[in-house]
Amino acid sequence: MSAVIDNFLKYVRLDTQSEDGSASTPSTAKQFSLAKLLVEQLEEMGAEEITLDKEHCYVYASIPSSEGLESAPVLGFIAHMDTSPAVTGAEVMPRIVEAYDGGDIVLNGNKNVVMRVKDFPELSYYVGKSLIVTDGTTLLGADDKAGIAEIMAMAQYLLTHPQITHGKLRIGFTPDEEVGAGADYFDVDLFGADYAYTVDGGRLGELEYENFNAAGAKVTAHGRSVHPGDAKNKMINALLILQEFQAMLPVFQNPMYTEKYEGFYHLDSLMGNVEEAASEYIIRDHDKERFEQKKEIFLRIGSFLDEKYGEGTVVIDLKDSYYNMKEIIENNIHLIDNAKAAMEEIDVEPIVIPIRGGTDGARLSFMGLPCPNLCTGGHNFHGKYEYICVESMEKIVELLVRISEKYGAAQKNY
């Protein structure tokens, strides 16, 4: 078994789920289990400048430059250690489907969990290849333990093959990316890279440097509870006010109707009763002007309902989360050009697409570290149908090595 797959299978068995709403960083202490393992492995392979942030659970390390390449740009590779809270990450039981035959894959016969080709037609890309799947009861954790395994395999390969020349490389592993806090305590100065890539994407070949502008919003409705038998002209139902709020949003600006560069409003949760109810939304758009318009529409609806039902009835807490890194990366387009060239040199077709989400790299780009996103080889993240291709992971290790060589050859900052 290759080093990248061996490590990946170890990593996914560690439960590192982050937790929404936690006031601490990391949001869950169990993320330290992977952080400590990575530190041990980095020490064993001979990496340098290894640092574990014992308070916030960040791991940093260096691969020293080849002799004579000390003046080359310092390049970073970053991945996150947590997995999504959407589906349990406890007791993950990965299985390798050798030489996939193109049919439906039974993940769990006892529970009748089947990954069907009609539901996931991209499975056809992988006929004859090996796939790592779940047992149908948990997520797999390829998002982003695949990225970690690929970066670690790259580091080990370079340290054991000194004939491969490269500049100084920095490695960073973050907590809490899945709950939007991965960059909160990332020490850009300590990291010390000129440029970086997150390794946190999907299908082999994907290369991303555009992401959503993002905001989160909580809408709280204050009602008046009165016995239903005596409610006429007295009751104000907070739940119905929130339904009215949702009905006033543009119907087709909804995730289920959008793709590519189309933005949306997404109702993520709804809870409460007649007296008080709250809904939580995420607001997304690639275009900054449309993003601002979406927020303005959202606030105007809230103001209208507040005026309709009385001052203080509807309260909106709206907060920006991250912005489209395109404006940063366009000024550092060599990151995309070099990644595309490296892919082509190893017979991988570049697939440049916008991210319909965000990564640590989006925030890091605005913190002074230009940081587009590379593929991991995985599919169906955040669910029990998650899977990843073995051959894709091995190819991505080769890609990271090739990109490292390119920046070593640059001998200067761009």
Tell me the mean pLDDT per 10 residues along the chain, length 414.
Answer: 94 96 94 98 98 98 95 96 95 97 97 97 97 97 97 98 96 95 96 97 96 95 93 93 97 95 95 97 96 97 95 95 94 97 97 88 95 97 97 98 92 66
Supply the range of the domain harboring residue 270.
Answer: 213-322
Q: Is 161 assigned a ligand-binding role in the annotation?
A: no
Residues 61 and 133 reside in one and the same domain = yes
Q: How much is the pLDDT for 148?
A: 98
Residues 81 and 226 reside in one and the same domain = no
Residues 260 and 372 reside in one and the same domain = no
Q: How much is the pLDDT for 412?
A: 64
Residues 329 and 277 reside in one and the same domain = no
Q: How much is the pLDDT for 411?
A: 64
Residues 43 and 185 reside in one and the same domain = yes
- 47: closest CA among 148, 162, 170, 197? 170
- 6: closest CA among 105, 111, 132? 132
Q: Is 306 assigned a ligand-binding role in the annotation?
A: no
Q: Is 82 assigned a catalytic role?
A: yes
Residues 253 and 396 reside in one and the same domain = no
Q: Is 119 assigned a ligand-binding role in the annotation?
A: no
CATH at residue 245? 3.30.70.360
Residues 20 and 68 reside in one and the same domain = yes
Residues 231 and 183 reside in one and the same domain = no
Q: Is 347 assigned a ligand-binding role in the annotation?
A: no
Residues 98 and 231 reside in one and the same domain = no
Q: Is 43 assigned a catalytic role?
A: no
Which residue among 53, 144, 176, 177 is the active-site one?
A: 177
Q: Is 334 assigned a ligand-binding role in the annotation?
A: no
- Domain endpoint, select from 322, 344, 360: 322
- Domain endpoint, select from 266, 293, 322: 322
CATH at residue 184? 3.40.630.10
Whole-structure pTM value: 0.90
Residues 238 and 109 reside in one and the same domain = no
Name the domain count of the chain. Answer: 2
Residues 394 and 346 reside in one and the same domain = yes
- Domain endpoint, select from 291, 322, 353: 322
Residues 120 and 27 reside in one and the same domain = yes
Which residue among 15, 82, 150, 398 is the active-site one?
A: 82
